[in-house]
Amino acid sequence: MVKKSLGITVSRYIMDLQHMFPEAKGDLTGLLNELIVAAKTINAEVNKAGLADILGQSGKKNVQGEEVQNLDELTNNTIKKRMESCGYVCAMVSEEEDNIIPVRKGYSGKYTLAFDPLDGSSNIDVNVSIGTIFSIPRRITSSSEVSSYDIPGTAEDFLQKGSEQVAAGYILYGSSTMMVFSTGHGVNGFTLDPSVGEFYLSHKNIKIPKTCKYLSINEGNHKYWNENMKNYIDHIKDREISSRYIGSLVADFHRNLISGGIFLYPKDKKDPSKKQGKLRLLYEAAPLAFLIQQAGGKAVTDEGEDILEIKPTSIHQRTPLIIGNKDAVSEAIEFLN
């Protein structure tokens, strides 16, 4: 097992993990390290988001009259720039871009990267925690090592079940900045010491507590739910449980992962785009489902389908999501079906 003493840096942890697999060539290590640099860069920008108007970073013109990116664009470009010529990914999918994002010619790699650069960004203006979510499946369209450097990835490389992910995780820009991820060997949390610029192992081998302490759902959508969902929510509120919903998926997920809870974003009748729920499969539901399974929890649709077993048909497809304590999710599904 990887030596996971509290306080080791995330880079040391990733290197230790690589040494567990002699056949590993270090591509995943390199990819994760690039993501760490991107996370530190984004963190610096997010931490001064409140000054955006003053610093002219709110998508308006800055003091020099230059068009300045807003934070969504800035975080999206930060990740793209770091990954497009790192040689570890063959293509990318971002919540911010309609089509798959190619990497520089000659720099194609054996993984793909799907990400939500800044989930919950509407909360920036009210200083609520936001996050970056990432999913790393292996490419499937070109197996031979040599040729893959020149062969760009395609949409097909992304249309894989969540169970095929090699790694997944998120960076939470909250009261402290944390990187929480798994490569299939448990879930570990690393907290950034901004004075040093290092992420240190602070939460090792995270397991979701057995007790479901929190219920996270937007009750403002109550009138749009189907009857079964309405009855389930009334049922679960009859017992000792606290309602916590901050409207930032990463923050709601992280609180429930650490303290125990169930998060639901079911499909609702509010508008046609949410017929299949609001959250995206590739870079929101699937990576979090990978993490919760590693942490002893469960993630399903409101029909009870395992999120990790859904084969995507399009890169931005949405899915209903019920995620959290295994018992609580199982009870919800019994109730809903």
Q: Which residues bind ligand P6P (CB under 6 A)?
A: 119-120, 122, 218, 247-249, 252, 278
- CA–CA gap between residue 149 and residue 287 (Å, rounded): 26
Nearer to ligand P6P, 45 or 72 (CB): 72
Name the strands in the sheet holding 261-265, side by side, starting at the edge strand that comes first in the sequence. Answer: 242-243, 214-216, 261-265, 321-324, 298-300
Q: Could you tell me the smallest distance in angstroms from the CB atom of residue 120 to ligand P6P?
A: 4
Helices first, then strands: H and E counts in the chain: 9, 13
Nearer to ligand P6P, 17 or 321 (CB): 321
Q: What angle do CA 48, 54, 55 make, to 5 degrees?
A: 60
Q: Could you tell me the smallest distance in angstroms from the CB atom of residue 279 to ligand P6P?
A: 6
* Pairing state between β 214-216 and 242-243: parallel
Q: Could you tell me the smallest distance in angstroms from the CB atom of residue 113 to ligand P6P?
A: 19
Nearer to ligand P6P, 140 or 246 (CB): 246
Nearer to ligand P6P, 96 or 119 (CB): 119
Q: Could you tell me the smallest distance in angstroms from the CB atom of residue 36 to ligand P6P?
A: 22
The two tokens of residue 233 are 């929510």
8 A C-beta contact, residue 305 and residue 286: no
The two tokens of residue 291 are 């993490």
Q: Which residues does residue 299 pair with via DSSP β-bridges, in sequence order?
A: 323
Nearer to ligand P6P, 28 or 288 (CB): 288
